[in-house]
Amino acid sequence: MKILIIEDEKELREVIKDSLEKEGYLIEDSSDFHSAIDKIISYEYDCILLDIMLPGGSGLELLAELKKHKKNEAVIIISAKDSIDDKVNGLELGADDYLAKPFHLAELNARVKSAIRRKNQGGNTFLHYNNLEIDPENRTVKVDDQSLSLNRKEFDLLYYFLTNPQRLITKTSIAEYVWGDHAEESDSLDFVYYQIKNLRKKLNESSANVDIQAVYGVGYKLV
């Protein structure tokens, strides 16, 4: 799962990044309005942590852009501005939560998990699809109550497909979701093929009722 941190304070940004990476998330970050807007328009995330006061613009403007482009990421505002007006404006523009600085990392981690669960899983702790069950918080998968062992990339790929059923997903989008900013550095388009091939093999061998179909020359689709 992928998270974007939009925060201009470098030390805090790095602390948050380190904490969330230890939880198994793939992290990207931006320190100003213009780089942030490029990322939110071009890429997809499970959750965005958003500061209101940014060089070059306001985090509330970024929220408006997310709504304009019909993006569906969970958004948690993290800001030193703890006024009622800021909270109301942020929530009305589509934010899922608001956390005032300073905050404990444990609370931030809990709110990230909760926001992603509400957004992608309808508030449920587990994600179910036919005879398959995913626990995103503990990164475990079961097929007919039997554990299925997946590596980190395979798990992220499966989660991405299950939260985007019936949607044609390009190879580039998959690479950006799983590898983030490093997608172009690792021959990731070729790697996508092998990771999905291995994932499909494991799903088939475990009798999982999940069909990830290749769309020649474009990408993949969960049908």
What does the pLDDT look like over 114-123, one tens digit per residue?
888 888 777 6
**The last residue of a domain, from among 58, 92, 121:** 121
Domain range for 101: 2-121
Instruction: Verify that 22 and 53 share a domain, yes or no.
Output: yes
Instruction: Verify that 88 and 190 share a domain, yes or no.
Output: no
| Cβ-Cβ contacts under 8 Å for 168 (sequence gap 6 or more) | 215, 218, 219, 220, 221
Torsion of CA 69, 71, 76, 78, to 10 degrees: -30
Instruction: Verify that 29 and 93 share a domain, yes or no.
Output: yes
Counted domains in the chain: 2
**Mean pLDDT comparison of 12-26, 87-101, 171-185, highest-scoring range:** 12-26
Task: Give the CATH number for residue 41.
Answer: 3.40.50.2300
Task: Give the CATH number for residue 188.
Answer: 1.10.10.10
pLDDT of residue 187: 60
Instruction: Verify that 186 and 109 share a domain, yes or no.
Output: no
Instruction: Verify that 98 and 162 share a domain, yes or no.
Output: no
Instruction: Verify that 117 and 7 share a domain, yes or no.
Output: yes
pLDDT of residue 42: 85
Instruction: Verify that 115 and 133 share a domain, yes or no.
Output: no
**The last residue of a domain, from among 66, 90, 121:** 121
What does the pLDDT look like over 48-76, one tens digit per residue?
999 988 999 988 999 988 888 888 889 99
Instruction: Verify that 136 and 104 share a domain, yes or no.
Output: no
Q: Judging by DSSP bridges, how do beta strands 140-143 and 146-148 pair with one another?
A: antiparallel
Instruction: Verify that 93 and 137 share a domain, yes or no.
Output: no
Asked whether residue 94 carries a pLDDT value surpassing 80, the answer given is yes
Instruction: Verify that 171 and 217 share a domain, yes or no.
Output: yes
Predicted TM-score of the model (pTM): 0.75
